[in-house]
Structure formats: structure tokens, C-alpha cells
């Protein structure tokens, strides 16, 4: 096509699938091979409808709650983790279940349990209603953990015993917001126990850093991800904070061309649950309207991999 305006697209790296998402998807695929269809999955395995639809085509059935799973079919728990009551209920019904909780979420679960055993009250930084938060709260007795959503919560917190506090966080938070909340917590409760290592995971921090690296050169930022995907939402937020207008889109047809305007350079990234095929789709859609030059940002490759559950590989 003639007269297309030039457009430089800076493609963030790393972007897209993390090791926990790869593993969770593989678990559903292997469960389908091992048990045949249908395999039930409690909650979206990851927050992406293209991933969910592909697995549905292979024979997965997605449900909200365990009581929707028939007694004679296996069930997979999503990457976000589940309250302890869920595997307990599965056991009491003698259901076959496979847990696809990301090992980095399970690590936070174990930390929570350990802190409670030590008699500490936990301040948990996270987003109300998110399945990971529900899952982590479900590892400890009711009332043993208090949710902190914003820095403003810190000032008016009332805690049982200031000398016996600890904090933990959701894995997909804003690195910057969380650092500010942690500083406020440490200022107010100097003896608060911090996690041994950061709970925000490597994939979350790397994807946010990748957006920060390209944003200063961008007029607009497109983030591929679902509206209920916490880590993807954070990527759009990071760009906006730097002053780059950003939009979260599920796929190419969501691009608002009026909003995009006639930029010289745009940034493109994808959340940890968004498949790379959608990045290609967006680049193709951009190429139909602009004379696109693609540039992939330099980065250190991610080498993280997680073992699959023994019951699926034996
Ligand atoms: C589990 C933990 O948590 P978020 O909403 O970002 O989940 P999503 O499914 O989008 O990403 C994968 C994932 C799963 C991230 N952390
Ligand atoms: Fe695991 Fe991090 Fe991926 Fe979440 S974003 S699934 S915690 S690796």
C-alpha cells in the first residue's frame, strides 16, 4: 500500500509467557493425554481467553468451583493457587487432582504458613478479590493475615502486636508501588519481618523493567493481556507513570486507531499469560496501516524452568 506513514515498533523483551504459565498450560495438556477428555480446570488456568479457548478445544472444561466437577473426572487447579480448603475438599471426594499453582506462588504459601507457626501476624500486600490473594489467605487461619492494597492503608492499620509482624506480597504487583508500601511499613513497624527474598516474581519484575527501558522512546504503549490479568495491568501502569499513554488490549481488533493517532514510535509488550502469536497478530495489524520497522529490545534471556508434577511425568 502506498503512503503509509513510517512507524517504529519497539518490542519489549522479555515479554509474554513466564515459566509458571508454560508449566500450567503443559499440566493441562499432559492431564488430557494421561486421563483423556474431559479434564476439568478450576478457574482460568491463566488469565487469557486464547489460552483457555485452545485448551477447551482440546477437551478441558473450565469451572469456577470444585462442586461443578463430576466425581469421576480429574481436575487441575489454576496457576494462581487455591485455598487449602480446595485440595482438602477434592481429597474428601476422592477426586484426582493436579495442582498447577506456580511454584513461586506456592513458595509464598509456605512462607505464610511458617510465619503463622512462629506466631506472627502477616500484612499481605495485594489486590482484593484476586484469586492469588484468595489462595494465599486460604493457607492461614481466618484473621491471621491483613490485606494492604495501597500505601494509604498503612497509616490507619491496626495490628494485634507490633512486635510480631511480617509482610508478604502477591507475585504480580507493581515493583515501585510495593517498594513504597514496604518503606511505609518499615517506618511504622521497624521490627516487621521481611520475606527472605522478594515475593514479586522474576517475570513480573523483568517485564516491568523491559517496559521502563523502552518507554522513554515511545509515543504510545500497547500491552497485550486480559483485563483481569494483574501482571499485564501493571505493565500498562508502568508506561503511564513514565508519561506514555498505554492501553491493555486482548488482541489486534482491540486497537483503538483514533487513540493511537500517528505516532513515530510505539512500544509493544505482552503480559506473562499472553501468547506470542498475539504479538505477531498486533504487528501484522500495525503493518496494514503503517510502514513498520520492528526493533526487539536487547535483554538477558530468562532461563527459569519449573519441574512438572511427578504424577504427570512418571
Ligand atoms: C499465577 C501467578 O496473577 P495474574 O492476574 O497476573 O495472572 P495471569 O494468569 O495473567 O498471569 C499468570 C500468573 C499466574 C501470574 N502469577
Ligand atoms: Fe509464576 Fe511469576 Fe509467572 Fe506468576 S508471573 S506464574 S508467579 S513465574
Is 154 domain-assigned?
Answer: yes
Between CA 207 and CA 211, with CA 210 as vertex, the angle to 5 degrees is 90
Whether 117 and 150 map to the same domain: the answer is: yes
Per-residue pLDDT, 256: 98
Cα 215 to Cα 221, 265, 285, distances in angstroms: 7, 10, 21
Would you say residue 144 has pLDDT above 70? yes
Residue nearest to atom 3 of ligand 2 (CA): 20
- Is residue 144 one of the residues assigned to a domain? yes
User: Could you tell me if residue 270 is inside a domain?
Assistant: yes
Across residues 129-135, what is the average pLDDT?
98
Could you say which of 188, 222, 245 is where a domain stops? Answer: 188
pLDDT band at 135; cut points 50, 70, 90? very high
Residues 120 and 90 in one domain: no
> Does residue 13 surpass a pLDDT of 90?
yes
Is residue 131 one of the residues assigned to a domain?
Answer: yes
| 151 CA → ligand 1 middle, Å | 23
**H-only helix segments in the chain:** 19-35, 49-58, 85-92, 103-117, 131-137, 151-155, 175-188, 202-214, 230-241, 257-260, 276-289, 310-313
pLDDT reported for residue 1 = 55
Which ligand is the nearest neighbour of the Cα of 198? 2
Measured distance CA(61)–CA(160) in Å, rounded: 43
State whether 209 and 274 are in the same domain.
yes
Provide mean pLDDT across the span 79-105.
98
Cell of 9: 515498533
Residue 300 has pLDDT above 90, yes or no: no
Nearest CA, atom 8, ligand 2: 20
Q: Which residue among 70, 102, 134 closes a domain?
A: 102
Neighbours of 148 (CB within 10 A): 20
For the Cβ of 136 lying below 6 angstroms from any atom of ligand 1, the answer is no
Nearest bound ligand to CA 248?
1
CA distance 266 to 269: 10
Distance 23 CA to ligand 1 centre (A): 12
Mark whether 91 and 171 lie in a shared domain: no
Per-residue pLDDT tens digits for 14-40: 999 999 999 999 999 999 999 999 999
Ligand 2 and 204: CB distance under 6 A: yes
Tally of domains in the chain = 3
Q: pLDDT per residue over 199-215, tens digit each?
A: 999 999 999 999 999 99
Range of the domain at 183: 104-188
Q: Output phi, psi for 285, to 5 deg.
A: -65, -40
pLDDT band at 3 (very low <50, low <70, confident <90, very high): confident
User: Stretch 2-13: mean pLDDT, rounded?
Assistant: 94
Catalytic residues: 132
Pocket test for ligand 1, best of 17, 78, 273, 304 (most atoms within 8 A of CB): 273
What's the whole-number mean pLDDT along residues 104-113? 98
Same domain, 284 and 212: yes
Question: N- to C-terminal Cα distance for the chain?
Answer: 55
The per-residue pLDDT for range 239-276, each reduced to its tens digit, is 999 999 999 999 999 999 999 999 999 999 999 999 99
Do 289 and 207 fall within a single domain? Answer: yes
pLDDT-based confidence at residue 2 (cuts at 50, 70, 90): low
Query: Does 265 share its domain with 223?
Result: yes
Quickly tell me which residue has 476422592 as its cell.
94
Same domain, 61 and 140: no
Q: Is the pLDDT of residue 183 over 90?
A: yes
Percent of the chain with pLDDT over 70: 99
How would you classify residue 81: left for phi > 0, otherwise alpha for psi between -120 and 50, otherwise beta?
left
CA–CA gap between residue 32 and residue 39 (Å, rounded):
6
Check whether 80 has a pLDDT greater than 70.
yes
Is 308 inside any structural domain? no
- Read off the pTM: 0.98
Q: Give a yes or no: residue 195 inside a domain.
A: no
Q: SS3 for 57?
A: helix
In a domain, 31, yes or no: yes
Residue 132 sits in the same domain as residue 164: yes
**Domain boundary, last residue among 188, 220, 252:** 188
Question: Is 166 within the bounds of a domain?
Answer: yes
The CATH number that applies at residue 134 is 3.40.1010.20
Amino acid at each position: 500500500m502506498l503512503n503509509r506513514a513510517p512507524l517504529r515498533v519497539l518490542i519489549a523483551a522479555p515479554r509474554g509467557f513466564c515459566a509458571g504459565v508454560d508449566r500450567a498450560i503443559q499440566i493441562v495438556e499432559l492431564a488430557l493425554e494421561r486421563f483423556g477428555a474431559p479434564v476439568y480446570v478450576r478457574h482460568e488456568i491463566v488469565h487469557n481467553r486464547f489460552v483457555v479457548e485452545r485448551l477447551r478445544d482440546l477437551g478441558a472444561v473450565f469451572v469456577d468451583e470444585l462442586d461443578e466437577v463430576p466425581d469421576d473426572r480429574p481436575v487441575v487447579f489454576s496457576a494462581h493457587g487455591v485455598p487449602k480448603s480446595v485440595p482438602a475438599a477434592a481429597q474428601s471426594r476422592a477426586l484426582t487432582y493436579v495442582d498447577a499453582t506456580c511454584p513461586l506462588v506456592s513458595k509464598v504459601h509456605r512462607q505464610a504458613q511458617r510465619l503463622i507457626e512462629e506466631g506472627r501476624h502477616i500484612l499481605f500486600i495485594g489486590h482484593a478479590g484476586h484469586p492469588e490473594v484468595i489462595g494465599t489467605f486460604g493457607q492461614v487461619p481466618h484473621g491471621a493475615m491483613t490485606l494492604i492494597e495501597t500505601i494509604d492503608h498503612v497509616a490507619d492499620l491496626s495490628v494485634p502486636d507490633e512486635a510480631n509482624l511480617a509482610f508478604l506480597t502477591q507475585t504480580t504487583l507493581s515493583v515501585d508501588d510495593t517498594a513504597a508500601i514496604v518503606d511505609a511499613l518499615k517506618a511504622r513497624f521497624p521490627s516487621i519481618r521481611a520475606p527472605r527474598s522478594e515475593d514479586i516474581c522474576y517475570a513480573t519484575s523483568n517485564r516491568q523493567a523491559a517496559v521502563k527501558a523502552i518507554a522513554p522512546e515511545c509515543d504510545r504503549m500497547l500491552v497485550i493481556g486480559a483485563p483481569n490479568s494483574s501482571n499485564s495491568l501493571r505493565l500498562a501502569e508502568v508506561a503511564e507513570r513514565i508519561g506514555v499513554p498505554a492501553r491493555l488490549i486482548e488482541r489486534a481488533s482491540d486497537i483503538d486507531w483514533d487513540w493511537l493517532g500517528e505516532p513515530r514510535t510505539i512500544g509493544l509488550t505482552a503480559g506473562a499469560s499472553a501468547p506470542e502469536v498475539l504479538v505477531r497478530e498486533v504487528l501484522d495489524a500495525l503493518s496494514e496501516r503503517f510502514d513498520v520497522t520492528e526493533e526487539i529490545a536487547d535483554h538477558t534471556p530468562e532461563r527459569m524452568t519449573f519441574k512438572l508434577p511427578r504424577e504427570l511425568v512418571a
